[in-house]
């Protein structure tokens, strides 16, 4: 087969393009932006699979947002990569490497895949924030009128990428995230920008979330945001360490393991179509 293999997939409606460049091909930020704009390959995130760099790992994965920027982690995309490599190798356990570290996958051959997303980081300079905050369970930040802020005092965390979680009592659907999202994503307090969530605790083990993603905008689901919401809720005492996160595209199970502080994310994947990138990767295509 010639050309660079790709799979158009989604995780709970979060549009994922898996691209396999182990044999040939190369994806730059410009190419990623170009692919995101083509109907056949449109994505929120592209997961680019290269040959393993570290012994014992199965692949090196580079993650692009639709705007061509790189991301350190993508939960929904990781399950899609796991499906593809599990299908190829028949292995149910995989170890994937990203710029943010190693991700252990279990049940790669199943309909529900579990990814060990590693440990959350809560220090202000790990998020990162522009200035020191001792307490990152709620930082000084708000949008809306000063006397009645619509969204304020978010919890912040890095789960391989930066997240801010705004807690609300009303339905997250009532908030104009399309308007506030871009302002908050690009707020100077976040030198590397941030993914922005609005979260409503429905029960101690169930939280409803909408997400404005850094570099991609409103998406139907975001796996790392689900992790960010679950751990910050547990840290604030709003929820248990295991919770169902309800996103517009469906549900993810998140469990923050006590023994080693790791976050486990379990959810589905869906394959839409697959093929090879030919025209898309020619110089004209990528221009
Ligand atoms: N959709 C993703 C997150 C993509 C990362 C991203 N938007 C960023 O950190 O720049 C997920 O399922 O976790």
**CA-CA-CA-CA dihedral for 204, 205, 211, 216, to nearest 10:** 150
Question: Does the pLDDT of residue 234 top 70, yes or no?
Answer: yes
Q: How confident is the model at residue 287 (pLDDT cuts 50, 70, 90)?
A: very low
pLDDT, tens digit, for every residue of 243-265? 999 999 999 999 999 999 999 99
Give pLDDT, residue 144: 81
For the purposes of burial, counting CB atoms within 10 Å of the CB of 283, is it exposed (0-12), middle (13-18) or buried (19 or more)?
exposed
Ligand 1 centroid, distance to 71 Cα (angstroms): 6
Catalytic residue status for 222 = yes
Taken in order of first residue, the domains within the chain and their CATH numbers are 4-118+269-286 (3.10.310.10), 142-261 (3.10.310.10)
Choice between 149 and 161, residue whose per-residue pLDDT is larger: 161
pLDDT, tens digit, for every residue of 54-83? 999 999 999 999 999 999 999 999 999 999
93 to 59, 90, 107, 109, 169: CA distances (angstroms): 12, 9, 6, 8, 39
d(CA 94, CA 52): 12
Q: How confident is the model at residue 278 (pLDDT cuts 50, 70, 90)?
A: confident
Report the chain's mean pLDDT, rounded to a whole number: 95
Question: Does the pLDDT of residue 284 top 50, yes or no?
Answer: no
Q: Which residues of 219-234 are buried (b: 16+ CB within 10 A; e: fewer)?
A: bbbbbbbbbbbbbbbb
- Answer yes or no: are the C-beta atoms of 13 and 7 closer than 8 Å: no
Q: How confident is the model at residue 199 (pLDDT cuts 50, 70, 90)?
A: very high
Is 186 annotated as ligand-binding? no
Catalytic residue status for 80 = no
Tell me, using a 6 A CB cutoff, whether residue 65 lines ligand 1: yes
Question: Does the pLDDT of residue 229 top 80, yes or no?
Answer: yes
Ligand 1 centroid, distance to 58 Cα (angstroms): 21
**Phi-psi group of 70: left, alpha or beta (phi > 0 → left; psi -120 to 50 → alpha; rest → beta):** beta
Tell me, using a 6 A CB cutoff, whether residue 214 lines ligand 1: yes
Tell me, using a 6 A CB cutoff, whether residue 163 lines ligand 1: no
């Amino acid at each position: 087969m010639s050309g660079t293999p790709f799979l158009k997939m989604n995780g709970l409606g979060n549009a994922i393009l898996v691209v396999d460049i182990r044999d040939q091909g190369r994806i730059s930020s410009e190419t990623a932006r170009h692919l995101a704009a083509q109907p056949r390959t449109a994505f929120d995130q592209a997961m680019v699979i290269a040959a393993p760099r570290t012994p014992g790992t199965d692949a090196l994965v580079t993650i692009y947002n639709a705007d061509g920027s790189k991301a350190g982690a993508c939960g929904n995309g990781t399950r899609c990569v796991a499906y593809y490599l599990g299908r190829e190798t028949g292995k149910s356990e995989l170890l994937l490497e990203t710029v943010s570290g190693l991700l252990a996958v279990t049940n790669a051959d199943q309909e529900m895949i579990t990814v060990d997303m590693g440990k959350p980081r809560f220090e202000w300079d790990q998020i990162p924030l522009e200035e020191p905050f001792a307490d990152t369970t709620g930082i000084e930040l708000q949008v809306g009128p000063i006397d009645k802020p619509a969204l304020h005092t978010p919890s912040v965390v890095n789960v391989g990428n930066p997240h801010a979680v705004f807690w609300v009592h009303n339905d997250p659907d009532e908030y104009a995230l399309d308007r506030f999202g871009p302002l908050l994503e690009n707020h100077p307090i976040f030198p590397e920008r941030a993914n922005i969530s609005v979260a409503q605790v429905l029960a101690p083990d169930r939280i409803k979330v909408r997400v404005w993603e850094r570099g991609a905008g409103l998406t139907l689901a975001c796996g790392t945001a689900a992790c960010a919401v679950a751990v910050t809720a547990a840290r604030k005492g709003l929820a248990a360490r295991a919770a169902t996160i309800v996103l517009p595209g469906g549900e993810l199970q998140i469990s923050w393991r006590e023994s080693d502080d790791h976050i486990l994310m379990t959810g589905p994947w869906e394959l839409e179509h697959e093929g090879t990138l030919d025209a898309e990767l020619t110089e004209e295509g990528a221009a």
